[in-house]
Homo-oligomer: A and B are copies of this chain.
Amino acid sequence: MELTTAEENYLKAIYHLSEEGKKSVSTNDIAAQIQTKPASVSDMLRKLGEKEVIQYRKYYGLQITELGKRLALQTIRKHRLWEVFLVDKLHFAWDEVHEVAEQLEHIQSPLLIERLDAYLNYPKFDPHGDPIPDAYGDVRTRPRCALNEMDIDQSGQIVAVKDSSAAFLRYLDKVGAYIGARIKILDKVEFDGSIEILVDQKKTLFMSKDVASNILVLQS
């Protein structure tokens, strides 16, 4: 089964939206996610339905199939491996990799990915803390919770970010938050949900609820 670049991008978006626990994935959601128009999405959904990577009944919504999941995970695997390559080997900053990986993920060569994976030493997570599916599409997720949902005095380790936009990542760089940092909740402001945390036992940091909700923590 061969997918075009556009089909791979749509399927990946559908997979991600499906995983977000949303009851069902809407045409508008997909359009927003991949920056296109709902009319284009409707068209593509029909095609993806014919290729049986989703189950689609018009006006009724869609469901990704097992085949669809497998293919989406292959693309995600490639995307994340390339991100690791760009950061670890080419010294890209973690906010510079997304666009390039968005292109590289469509290169067709099983050998290339196999070798790249070996070359990078079979990494388990990408630069944003997201897990890298193995060659069979198996992905092991760690239990993690959003920073804004933790209570005072709880502690843990930053393991991932929800938002991978350059703006957000550069903000984290600036304030000194990074994947792997040990944190502890010092205070929570009832009024707006903003919090104060201690980073690596030495630095205190103040952040809005919005920022905190995009930081994922492994509790300890």
Point out residues on A near B: beta carbons under 8 Å: 86, 89-92, 96, 99-100, 103-104, 107-109, 111-112, 115-116, 119
Contact = CB atoms under 8 A, between A and B. Distances in A.
Copies of this chain in its oligomeric complex: 2
For the complex, would chain A's binding face be called helix, strand, loop or mixed by DSSP majority? Answer: helix
Given A96-B111, A99-B109, A103-B107, 17 more contacts: A86-B112, A89-B119, A90-B112, A90-B115, A90-B116, A90-B119, A91-B115, A92-B111, A92-B115, A100-B107, A100-B109, A100-B111, A100-B112, A103-B108, A103-B109, A104-B107, A107-B107
A37 to B, nearest CB: 22
Contacts of A115: 90-92
A202 to B, nearest CB: 33
A84 B129 CA distance: 30
Contacts of A107: 100, 103-104, 107
Contacts of A92: 111, 115
